[in-house]
């Protein structure tokens, strides 16, 4: 197992170091890097990395936040040069301004990126940049170049990049331990990839209806932010987000060649989700409440509705349900069909013990937003509390039909089927939850338990046995 983790560390992740160069090296047709690994193997490696990341962090699993970042990402992918590739977008609760990409289309966004961005266009510009890393197979091209280096140096360098994606300080420390000559070779190649990702990312950004100027504008903010973290002891290329004046100028020069785009879609939704992330990730709820109170009192809030929404969520998290409702109500009065407000109101109703009122809110909104992922998963939690596992299971299975699987969904299915007395089915869903979490041994154990409860049901036994063989095969390969 240790060997496979080292291998994955050596193949999976590169971080957006944001270095400048005008040398855009587009891959040639038949680029030999593609021969290193198949798309299926590339996805398997990315999935393994995603499993390891989930072991290290509690990723943000709020249905609204997950749905928002996924839809934003899919909109960009649809306008990229590889719209048919599979992508998985997720958010890491980390205050640093960062995003990173892994093979197989796994793209992580730090919560600090969303909180620092002033517009949705800026977030989209970073996602478009990371999407370009995936579509251009930059990691494989980098790995191909590294065949000229020693194997230990190659593994150490890319493993350091993997660590850096999760914790920039850990990545820097690891890289500093590698020989200086090898470091410079890797960084120079990465700069070329970064410039290419800027170029193609901006094209994807514009095709998706976003403002091309968002990329250089965000670069400028990153440059200003990096000044607070840089020291003379750390070279530019080892900082989390080093941005040079040349890179900003290059991005600005390309941006002016595109016509100004009006923001498409619901811009308020971005600001609402940004405040929800702020509340979910704060480590000082009282201070955050004071921040919202000050922003509303000053009247200088950039988006008063979003500030009021965040204030209500913070009050609810602090247990002040009465004031949370008072703060939220004017938003509902002005825009009663907005789902985010309705979900917040339902949470307040649940907190004060009015479960039936919350269920009415969910059911009413299902007519307005049928099969909405966030709505359905929140409704399931309320149905579980109301001892209605059958309806909850139906909602969850409908989400599966729509392709909206997740660890949270599998866990809920395990609970609802268990509440209905379907023990074999419950353990089967627990197995899928563990598999999605990268805990394959536990997944296999759950399948064996499920098989024990399925005696006499040939169809169920066949389904369980097939899945168990798949997982045991993966485990056997990982142990080699």
Catalytically active residues, by annotation: 130, 198
Instruction: Report the C-alpha gap between 243 and 198 in whole angstroms.
Output: 12
Residues 386, 388, 392: CA angle, nearest 5 degrees: 110
β-pairing verdict for 106-110 and 88-92:
parallel
Q: Which residues contact 169 (CB under 8 A, 6 or more apart)?
A: none
Instruction: Report the C-alpha gap between 369 and 339 in whole angstroms.
Output: 8
Nearest to 188 by CA among 131, 136, 149, 135: 149
Please check whether residue 162 is in contact with residue 219, taking contact to mean a CB–CB distance below 8 angstroms: no
Sign of CA dihedral 147, 149, 152, 156: negative
Q: Which residues contact 321 (CB under 8 A, 6 or more apart)?
A: 315, 348, 351, 352
Dihedral of CA atoms 228, 229, 233, 234 in degrees, nearest 10, equals -130
Instruction: Report the C-alpha gap between 313 and 304 in whole angstroms.
Output: 14
Helix (H) or strand (E) holding 110: strand 106-110
Tokens of 341: 């407000």
Instruction: Report the C-alpha gap between 284 and 286 in whole angstroms.
Output: 6
Tokens of 203: 């094209």
Beta bridge partners of 15: 100
Could you give the 3-state DSSP secondary structure of residue 102?
A: strand
Distance from the Cα of residue 316 to its chain's centroid: 25
Please check whether residue 125 is in contact with residue 205, taking contact to mean a CB–CB distance below 8 angstroms: yes
Nearest to 69 by CA among 374, 314, 341: 374
SS3 of 381-397:
HHHHHCCCHHHHHHHHH
């Amino acid at each position: 197992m240790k060997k496979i983790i080292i291998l994955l560390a050596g193949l999976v992740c590169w971080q957006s170091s944001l270095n400048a160069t005008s040398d855009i090296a587009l891959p040639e047709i038949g680029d030999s890097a593609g021969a290193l690994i198949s798309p299926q193997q590339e996805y398997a490696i990315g999935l393994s990395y995603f499993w390891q990341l989930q072991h290290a962090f509690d990723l943000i699993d709020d249905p609204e936040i997950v749905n928002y970042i996924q839809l934003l990402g899919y909109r960009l992918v649809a306008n990229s040069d590889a719209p048919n590739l599979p992508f998985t977008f997720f958010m890491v609760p980390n205050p640093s301004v960062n995003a990173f990409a892994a093979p197989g289309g796994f793209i992580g966004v730090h919560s600090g990126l969303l909180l620092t961005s002033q517009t949705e266009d800026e977030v989209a510009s970073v996602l478009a940049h990371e999407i370009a890393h995936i579509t251009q197979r930059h990691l494989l091209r980098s790995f191909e170049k590294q065949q000229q280096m020693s194997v230990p140096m190659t593994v150490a360098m890319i493993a350091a990049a993997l660590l850096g994606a999760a914790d920039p300080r850990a990545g820097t420390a690891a890289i500093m331990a590698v020989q200086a000559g090898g470091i410079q070779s890797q960084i120079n190649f990465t700069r070329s990839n970064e410039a290419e990702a800027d170029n193609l990312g901006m094209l994807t950004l514009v095709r998706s209806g976003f403002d091309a100027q968002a990329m250089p504008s965000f670069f400028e903010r990153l440059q200003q932010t990096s000044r607070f973290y840089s020291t003379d002891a750390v070279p530019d290329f080892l900082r989390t987000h080093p941005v040079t004046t040349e890179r900003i100028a290059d991005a600005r020069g390309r941006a002016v060649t595109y016509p100004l785009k009006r923001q498409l879609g619901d811009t308020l939704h971005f600001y609402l989700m940004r405040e929800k992330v702020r509340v979910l990730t704060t480590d000082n709820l009282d201070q955050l409440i004071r921040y919202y109170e000050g922003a509303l009192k000053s009247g200088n809030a950039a988006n008063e509705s979003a500030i009021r929404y965040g204030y209500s969520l913070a009050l609810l998290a602090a247990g002040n349900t009465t004031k949370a409702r008072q703060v939220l109500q004017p938003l509902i009065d002005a825009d009663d069909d907005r789902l985010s407000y309705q979900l917040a109101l339902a949470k307040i109703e649940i907190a004060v013990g009015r479960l039936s009122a919350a269920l009415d809110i969910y059911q009413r909104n299902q007519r307005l937003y049928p099969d909405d992922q966030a709505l359905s998963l929140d409704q399931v939690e309320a149905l579980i509390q109301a001892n209605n596992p059958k309806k909850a299971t139906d909602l969850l299975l409908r989400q599966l039909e729509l392709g909206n699987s997740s660890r949270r969904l599998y866990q809920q299915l395990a609970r609802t089927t268990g509440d209905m007395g379907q023990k074999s089915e419950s353990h089967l869903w627990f197995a899928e939850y563990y598999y999605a979490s990268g805990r394959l041994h536990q997944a296999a154990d759950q399948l064996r338990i499920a098989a024990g409860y399925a005696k006499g049901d040939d169809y169920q036994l066949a389904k369980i046995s097939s899945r168990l063989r798949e997982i045991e095969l993966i485990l056997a390969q990982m142990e080699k």
